[in-house]
Amino acid sequence: MMVLAVVWSIFRQEILRYQLRLGTALYDLPRPAEPAQVKAAEYTGVILRILLFLLGLTIVLARLMLR
Protein backbone atom coordinates (compact mmCIF):
# COMPACT_ATOMS: atom_id res chain seq x y z
CA MET A 1 0.00 0.00 0.00
CA MET A 2 2.83 2.35 0.83
CA VAL A 3 4.50 1.62 -2.51
CA LEU A 4 1.23 2.32 -4.31
CA ALA A 5 0.95 5.66 -2.49
CA VAL A 6 4.50 6.58 -3.51
CA VAL A 7 3.91 5.58 -7.14
CA TRP A 8 0.67 7.56 -7.14
CA SER A 9 2.59 10.58 -5.82
CA ILE A 10 5.11 10.28 -8.62
CA PHE A 11 2.51 9.98 -11.40
CA ARG A 12 -0.17 12.17 -9.83
CA GLN A 13 -0.49 14.56 -12.78
CA GLU A 14 -1.07 11.73 -15.28
CA ILE A 15 -3.56 10.10 -12.93
CA LEU A 16 -5.37 13.41 -12.44
CA ARG A 17 -5.65 13.92 -16.22
CA TYR A 18 -7.02 10.39 -16.58
CA GLN A 19 -9.56 10.95 -13.78
CA LEU A 20 -10.78 14.17 -15.39
CA ARG A 21 -10.98 12.60 -18.86
CA LEU A 22 -12.91 9.65 -17.43
CA GLY A 23 -15.26 11.99 -15.54
CA THR A 24 -16.00 14.01 -18.66
CA ALA A 25 -16.74 10.84 -20.61
CA LEU A 26 -18.94 9.19 -17.97
CA TYR A 27 -20.85 12.17 -16.61
CA ASP A 28 -20.90 14.52 -19.62
CA LEU A 29 -18.91 17.18 -17.78
CA PRO A 30 -17.73 20.25 -19.70
CA ARG A 31 -14.34 20.26 -21.39
CA PRO A 32 -11.94 21.57 -20.26
CA ALA A 33 -12.69 20.89 -16.63
CA GLU A 34 -13.56 23.79 -14.38
CA PRO A 35 -10.90 24.79 -11.82
CA ALA A 36 -13.15 23.64 -8.97
CA GLN A 37 -13.36 20.15 -10.50
CA VAL A 38 -9.59 19.99 -10.89
CA LYS A 39 -9.09 21.06 -7.25
CA ALA A 40 -11.62 18.47 -6.06
CA ALA A 41 -9.84 15.73 -8.00
CA GLU A 42 -6.48 16.84 -6.57
CA TYR A 43 -7.80 16.79 -3.00
CA THR A 44 -9.38 13.37 -3.54
CA GLY A 45 -6.01 12.07 -4.72
CA VAL A 46 -4.24 13.56 -1.71
CA ILE A 47 -6.72 11.97 0.69
CA LEU A 48 -6.43 8.57 -0.98
CA ARG A 49 -2.61 8.72 -1.01
CA ILE A 50 -2.53 9.59 2.69
CA LEU A 51 -4.99 6.80 3.45
CA LEU A 52 -2.97 4.24 1.50
CA PHE A 53 0.26 5.30 3.18
CA LEU A 54 -1.24 5.23 6.69
CA LEU A 55 -2.86 1.83 6.13
CA GLY A 56 0.43 0.43 4.85
CA LEU A 57 2.27 1.90 7.82
CA THR A 58 -0.30 0.41 10.19
CA ILE A 59 0.18 -3.02 8.63
CA VAL A 60 3.97 -2.76 8.91
CA LEU A 61 3.80 -1.66 12.54
CA ALA A 62 1.27 -4.38 13.41
CA ARG A 63 3.51 -7.03 11.87
CA LEU A 64 6.50 -5.73 13.83
CA MET A 65 4.58 -5.67 17.10
CA LEU A 66 3.10 -9.15 16.64
CA ARG A 67 6.43 -10.85 15.94
Q: Distance (Å, rounded) from C-alpha 64 to C-alpha 9? A: 26
Which segments of 1-67 does DSSP mark as H helices, in order?
A: 2-10, 12-27, 35-65
The residue type of 48 is L
Check whether 23 has a pLDDT greater than 90: no
According to the model, what pLDDT value does residue 28 have? 83
Check whether 40 has a pLDDT greater than 80: yes
- Quote the mean pLDDT of the chain: 89
Average pLDDT (34-47) is 87
